[in-house]
Amino acid sequence: MTTRLLELNPEYYTIWNYRRLLLRSFFEGAIPSTSNNKNDSTEHGTVQQYITDDLAFLLPLLRKFPKCYWIWNYRLWLLAEAARLLPSPVVYQLWQKELGLVGKMLTLDSRNFHGWGYRRQVVSALEELSVAMGSASASMTEHEFVYTTKMIESNLSNFSAWHRRSKLIPRLLSERNASHAERREFLEKELELVQRALWADPDSKDQSLWFYHQYLISNFKPSCSPQADAIIPDLPDADKLAYLQAQIEDLLEMLDGAETCKWIYQRLLELSLMSKSLNDQWPVASSDLEIWINKLLELDPLRKGRWEDLRKQIFPW
Amino acid sequence: MSLVSGPGRAQVAGGNLPNELQLAVEKHVKYIQSLDTRKDELEYWLTEHLRLNGVYWGLTALHLLGHPDALPRHETVEFVLSCQHDNGGFGPAPGHDPHMLYTVSAVQILVTVDALDELEKRGKTGREGVGRYIAQLQDRDDGSFAGDEWGETDTRFLFGALNALSLMRLLSYIDVTKAVAYVQACANFDGGYGVSPGAESHAGQIFVCVGALAIADRLDLVDKDRLGSWLSERQLNNGGLNGRPEKLEDVCYSWWVMSSLAMIGKLGWIDKDKLSKFILQCQDPELGGMADRPGDAVDVFHTVFGIAGLSLIGYPGLKPVDPIYCMPLEVVNRAVGR
């Protein structure tokens, strides 16, 4: 009965709640809470069947309503019940299947934040179970990092994948016990990756690359800013200035042939401001700064208010 | 209150528009008033799980349009009270389980029509009972909030809790410091915030996170330049706003993006004129209501957020809206004692 209602209207969340209560009573019937033994296979067989059947029931609903909060949550609840009632190896298998499922959902829509959120939960559950089962190498950070590379290679304009990548990096470098030199190499490689893509088409309407670039260069901010997730936490100011200078030069080259790309001017101004905040000197002539701001006003009049504020920040008098 | 879409449709972009687009105030009022009369449509019942939200959306729109009495106050209060459960929480309609989302709408509605005293007199619990329902949804370890007993966690619920509790002056019921810490955990490199730690920035989640920080008086924690930049990039050439990169414009982002910009003092970073024209093109000037974008069917959700967006950018004739609460400014001032 609840099945038919939910197929018609999966947003009727009270029915999902009712279904949970029904399932709970079936579970109680199969494995009374007085039973201490998580390893009795007949009891578990029944519960496992209920759970896998309901997971299967959800699949077509999920495909039809991929952005319905209630469906994703109910699915998580089923897996939490599995973790509560079934032996770890069984639960691990269930979560492994979920990894496959969420991979497919993200192939269908790589910007579905429910999917990405679900993926984080799946990875976290698999890691915890691995630890519980005594595995030495439970972390999936490298695996997930490779996944973001794959997603980006198949579609550069995937802000969700770039975002995920940015969140994995601090943990990745920490797990690798990366030395200062290794961290520098890592950052340089990431910059190269983004810049190669930007060179190909700087003026694409796609913002993802420019935002990721902004994330990378924020490593060159003065150290008084919070540096908790910095790729290179102990980078000396002199080195930051050198990196900033190299970035400015790269972007000036990129400008050649892309003079109508507002992002380049925006980034040049940001880099100049960062440089100034480090050694109190502008890295370029103030006539250049003036030209860039005017270019922004010309090319991006929608955000005029922001460029005027930027002008006041650079030329306060 | 029906959450059915239509019957109106927003004007099609590029059609024969009058040179001077105007807000069709009377049509929108009539549209909202008509919503509860559509009980013969199947969709009326398919959207029952949103009913109380719908009342809040319609009521707020009417207040901003300067027609606070267009919905019958007594019936509104009766309906709200009929949604309350013994544990203090509210569902979206009688018979639906309690949930944070509808509890927040209930409080917002009662405060807007100044009926908290009726809750004390005739509710299943008074406001303290409602406050306790909300407070027990907080995870005291990480500061986050669940939507209900089944545990879904989302920064929307955290904001909802701070919103409703501050309106009832019961913020002390929760651990605000931990809630702030949880919001911080949801901050991203682009200055924005997501659903939960690790989640991508999204204008809706940014509104709730910045709103929560505003209520907790911790806007100092926001990277206003960086966030303002990201938000300003939501404006597209057609004047409309999207919710995150490479997505379509939608009139409801006139609220989520603009209120966030207002809270961090960067409203000027968006072209208000072009946005205003876009919002006005989302209305059906004959049948009333607003849609997500020109050409689509209208609904009350998009109607309130389009109107609230216009109020924020100072469209003449509208009542000022509070950017933190999405309620009339004078109502919030009275409730929180500003």
* Among candidate residues A252, A181, A169, A253, the one with its CA nearest the CA of residue A212: A169
Residue A78: exposure state from Cβ atoms within 10 A (0-12, 13-18, ≥19): buried
B49 contacts A12? CB cut-off 8 A: yes
Cα torsion B330, B331, B337, B338 to 10°: value is -30
Which pLDDT belongs to residue A36? 59
What is the least distance, in Å, from the CA of A307 to any CA of chain B? 8
**A170-174, B19-23, B270-274: segment of lowest average pLDDT:** B19-23
Q: Is the pLDDT confidence value at B115 over 70? A: yes
Q: How far apart are CA A150 and CA A147, in angstroms?
A: 5
Q: Is cis: bond before B7, omega within 30 of 0?
A: yes
Nearest by CB to residue B198, choosing from A167, A303, A309, is A167
Q: Which of A144, A203, A302, A307 to mutate: most B Cβ within 10 Å?
A: A302
Cα A287 off chain centre by: 39
Backbone phi, then psi, for B235, in 5-degree steps? -80, 130
Mean pLDDT of B136-145: 97
Question: What whole-number percentage of chain A has pLDDT above 70?
Answer: 95
Distance of CA A101 to the CA centre of its chain: 18
Q: What is the mean pLDDT of residues A9-21?
A: 89
pLDDT tens digits, residue range B321-337?
Answer: 999 999 999 999 999 99
pLDDT tier, A6 (very low <50, low <70, confident <90, very high otherwise):
confident
ipTM above 0.90, yes or no: yes
Candidates B46, B154, B244; nearest CB to A9: B46
Strands (E), A64-219: none
Give me the pLDDT at residue B161, please.
98
User: B49 contacts in A (CB within 8 Å)?
Assistant: 9, 11-14
Cβ-Cβ contacts under 8 Å, B229 against chain A: 306
Interface test with B, best of A4, A7, A11, A13 (most B CBs within 10 A): A13
Q: Which of A14, A116, A303 sits opposite B96 (nearest CB)?
A: A14
Q: How confident is the model at residue B1 (pLDDT cuts 50, 70, 90)?
A: low
CA angle A286, A292, A296 (to 5 degrees): 145
Q: What are the pLDDT digits (tens) for A32-81?
A: 766 655 556 777 888 999 999 999 999 999 999 999 998 999 999 999 99
Q: Does B268 touch chain A (CB under 8 A)?
A: yes
User: For residue B228, what is the nearest residue in chain A, using CA coordinates?
Assistant: A306
Q: How do residues B295-311 score in pLDDT, each as one tens digit?
A: 999 999 999 999 999 99
- Report which residue type is found at A272: S
The pTM assigned to this predicted structure is: 0.94
From B244, B184, B235, B171, select the one nearest B210 (Cα to Cα). Answer: B184
Cβ contact B200–A113 (<8 Å): yes
**Which residue of B189, B195, B266 is in closest CB contact with A113?**
B195
Nearest residue in A to B153, CA atom: A73
Q: Tell me the domains of chain B and their CATH numbers.
A: 25-336 (1.50.10.20)
3-class secondary-structure state, position B327 = strand
- The strand pairing partners of B297, in sequence order, are B9
3-state secondary structure of B322: strand
- Residue contact A303–B269, C-beta within 8 A: yes
Residue B159 has pLDDT above 60, yes or no: yes
Cα–Cα distance list, A144 to A12, A161, A185, A193, B131 (Å): 34, 10, 20, 18, 41
3-state secondary structure B34-57: HHHHCCCCHHHHHCHHHHHHHHHH
Q: Which of residues 184-223 of B touch A (CB under 8 A)?
A: 188-190, 194-196, 198-202
How far the first Cα of chain B sits from its last, in Å, is: 32
Residues 6+ apart with CB under 8 A from B69: none
Residue in A271, A152, A155 with CA at minimum distance from that of residue A217? A271
Find the residue in B nearest to A117 (Cα).
B199
Burial B176-214 (b: 16+ CB within 10 A, else e): bebbbebbbbbbbbbbbbbbbbbbbbbbbbbbbbbbbbb
Cβ-Cβ contacts under 8 Å for B202 (sequence gap 6 or more):
A113, B192, B194, B195, B243, B244
Largest Cα–Cα distance in chain B?
A: 58
CA A45 to centroid of chain Cα atoms: 37
How high is the pLDDT of residue A33? 63
Select from B101, B189, B223 the residue whose CB has the most chain A CBs within 10 Å, as the one to mutate to test that interface.
Answer: B189
For residue B88 the two structure tokens come to 């203090």
Question: Which one-letter amino acid corresponds to residue A104?
Answer: K
Alpha-carbon span A269 to A314, nearest angstrom: 9
Nearest to A117 among B96, B151, B196 (CB): B196
Nearest to B211 by CA among B248, B146, B165, B272: B165
Structure-token pair, residue B54:
């719908």
Mean pLDDT in chain B?
94
Query: Could you tell me the two tokens for B264?
Result: 């961090």
Q: How many CA atoms lie within 13 A of B95 on its CB side?
A: 6
Which phi and psi (to 5°) does residue B187 adopt?
-80, 145
Cβ within 8 Å of residue B34, ≥6 positions away? none
